[in-house]
Amino acid sequence: MSADSWSDRLLGGFAKTSDRLTGNIAGLLGGAARLTEDQLDDLEDALILSDLGPRAAARIRERLAATRFDNGVDEAAIRAAVAEEIAAILRPVAKPLDVTAFPRPHVVLVIGVNGSGKTTTIAKLAHLFQEQDYAVMLAAGDTFRAAAIGQLGVWADRLGVPIIKGPEGGDPASVVFDAVKAATDKGTDALIVDTAGRLQNKRELMDELAKIRRVLGRLNPAAPHDVVLVLDATNGQNALAQIEVFREVAGVTGLVMTKLDGTARGGVLVAAAEQYGLPIHAIGVGETIDDLRPFDPDLVARVIAGVAA
């Protein structure tokens, strides 16, 4: 797929964010060299309603308040200033996932709520690592449903990578134990661990993830090297609550946002970046193995602000 068509898809992923903003900016024209306080108030409200969050909105407002429009207030200049400020927030958190651990394996624990896209993201990540010539192994740590083990198994077959699994209803920590042992014995570069999605049952989640972490650390004190929280872009603001809970429970080290190819509220990534500063490793823009993309802060900022490419 060409770079153009996947970045076009991103327009949908940020549509609900940028539509609000675009409508508001379009009304802000005037002959003056500066935006008025009323205009700045309106714009700040629109930024907050666009899921960018109060801190990012205040920061963008400040920049616009300081901007002189020599030829009168014009839409393109506002958009450019908004895009630049959003990019400045996003750039520090754009960080691809790297396979760095020695001794091997580099262990990536993948967590998130039900249906956020964990298993699909694992397949995409495995593919990405394979393309970089890393040997990959998967661990079916979602023992909750037989279908979950099967789903990861299908991806493993398709990718031609080994998978370690246990019985349905079994202890995920014991699957993870077996997987780290197998990956260590084989010298596998990257071990990616699937987990069951559940947020509602917080106590159970906490106990289970704590146990998985403990078991990982017993075989390899540095593991897990990454704890990746998968967020569904269509959940909008709820993503922030998920970051809050999973950070506390599982020590999240980075984020992947999926489903940015649909009609989503991806602007929440800006709020997340401003509030938590967690690395954003990649974004999902579709259901196939090639649909994981590096997080490009400048492109995302332009899409949100409606700046023509």
Residues making up the annotated binding site for GTP are 112-119, 194-198, 258-261
Angstrom distance (rounded) from CA 1 to CA 238: 31
Interface with ligand GTP, residue 284, by CB under 6 A? yes
> Considering only residues 267, 286, 297, 306, which one is a binding residue for ligand GTP as defined by CB under 6 A?
286
> Considering only residues 24, 39, 116, 119, which one is a binding residue for Mg ion as defined by CB under 5 A?
119
One-letter amino acid at 269 equals L
For ligand GTP, the closer of residues 47 and 299 by Cβ is 299
Smallest separation, CB 118 to Mg ion (Å): 5
Interface with ligand GTP, residue 150, by CB under 6 A? no
Angstrom distance (rounded) from CA 270 to CA 89: 7
Interface with Mg ion, residue 235, by CB under 5 A? no
Q: How far is CA 175 from CA 102, 193, 245, in A?
A: 22, 9, 24
CB atoms within 10 A of CB 2: 7
Interface with ligand GTP, residue 261, by CB under 6 A? yes
For ligand GTP, the closer of residues 110 and 223 by Cβ is 110
Binders of ligand GTP in range 17-36 (CB under 6 A) = none
Interface with ligand GTP, residue 172, by CB under 6 A? no
Interface with ligand GTP, residue 287, by CB under 6 A? yes
Q: What sign results for the dihedral spanned by CA atoms 227, 245, 11, 73?
A: negative
Which window, 46-54, 95-103, 117-125, 301-309, contacts ligand GTP (CB under 6 A)?
Answer: 117-125
For ligand GTP, the closer of residues 118 and 127 by Cβ is 118
Which window, 2-10, 30-38, 115-123, 301-309, contacts ligand GTP (CB under 6 A)?
Answer: 115-123
Interface with ligand GTP, residue 234, by CB under 6 A? no
Smallest separation, CB 213 to Mg ion (Å): 19
- Please choose, from the candidates 309, 287, 288, 282, the residue with its C-alpha nearest in 3D space to the C-alpha of residue 298: 309
Q: What sign results for the dihedral spanned by CA atoms 46, 16, 124, 216?
A: positive
For Mg ion, the closer of residues 119 and 242 by Cβ is 119
Instruction: Outline where DSSP puts E strands in the chain.
Output: 106-111, 136-141, 163-164, 190-195, 226-232, 254-258, 280-284, 292-294
* Residues 6+ positions from 203 with CB-CB distance below 8 Å: none
Interface with Mg ion, residue 120, by CB under 5 A? no
- Please choose, from the candidates 16, 56, 37, 32, the residue with its C-alpha nearest in 3D space to the C-alpha of residue 297: 56
Both tokens assigned to 227: 């704890």
Smallest separation, CB 230 to ligand GTP (Å): 6
For the annotated binding site, the residues are 112-119, 194-198, 258-261
Smallest separation, CB 270 to Mg ion (Å): 27
Interface with ligand GTP, residue 293, by CB under 6 A? no
Coil, strand or helix at 258: strand
Interface with ligand GTP, residue 120, by CB under 6 A? yes
Both tokens assigned to 164: 């370690």
Q: How far is CA 224 from CA 105, 154, 176, in A?
A: 10, 24, 11
Q: With contact defined as beta carbons under 8 Å apart, do 208 and 109 qualify?
A: no
Query: What is the 8-class DSSP label of residue 73?
Result: B
Q: How many residues bind ligand GTP (CB under 6 A)?
A: 20
Residues in contact with ligand GTP by the rule CB under 6 A: 112, 114-120, 142, 148, 197, 258-259, 261-262, 284-287, 291
Residues in contact with Mg ion by the rule CB under 5 A: 118-119
